[in-house]
A and B are shown apart, each in its own frame.
Chain A
């Protein structure tokens, strides 16, 4: 069955520190992969997506993610976290662009 695992429920980092949020997926074929961010009172915002091609994907707000087929992973990274990055982050997988299967999310807390 298709599934997405985000092993870290909650991560705390200091402002300016680097960040890596983990995402592992189980999928029968080459998936479409997404990272979304959810802030209170706002809809989920797409940070980046991977469909094919270069396995290192650049997104908005300075985020990037790397697709590693051998590890079934699509980890999200940012070299220097800002306080405004505090939010809930969801990894999602799909076989196209419609039916998304979401992970359980990682809550990011940023300390000054």
Chain B
């Protein structure tokens, strides 16, 4: 399968600071990437869809000014949590779609980034 990496794998920051999380597709080009958030013992909730070269599409209830997404290349998307607060502490997971060309694209997930805001 295809590989998606995330960096950092975990980060601790002070309240009010900004944190950037990188998501890279290592062996395929991902025109579309997704950012999810997962709370403990809960499911993944889609935050936004990121398309290379265009603005991200945010799900209802997700603050686009707080969660800045940039998808500058076909292998890199970044999520910046601006002015982070303790309630932003969570597990952030990205994914990328690898196009098969046969209408059966598959979404590949990164290992996630644990964000703790003090």
**Main SS at interface, chain A:** loop
Of all chain B residues, the one with the shortest Cβ separation from A6 is: B43
Given contacts A45-B1, A98-B97, contact A90 B109 (CB under 8 A): no
Q: How many residues of chain A are within 8 Å of chain B by beta carbon?
A: 20
**Main SS at interface, chain B:** strand
Looking at chain B, what size class is its interface with the partner chain? 20 to 34
CB <8 Å contact, A102 and B43: yes
B interface footprint on A66-109 (CB within 8 Å = 1, 0 otherwise): 00000000000000000000000010000011111111110000
CB <8 Å contact, B34 and A43: no
Contact of A43 among B4, B41, B46 (CB under 8 A): B4
* Interface pick from B67-75, B81-89, B99-107: B99-107
CB <8 Å contact, B43 and A97: no
Contact of B110 among A43, A90, A104, A105 (CB under 8 A): A43
A112 at the interface (CB under 8 A from B): no
Give the residues in chain B near A36, CB-CB below 8 Å: 109
CB <8 Å contact, A98 and B43: no
Chain A contacts to B: CB under 8 angstroms: 36, 41-46, 49, 51, 90, 96-105
Chain B contacts to A: CB under 8 angstroms: 1, 4, 6, 9, 32, 34, 41-46, 49, 93, 95, 97, 104-112
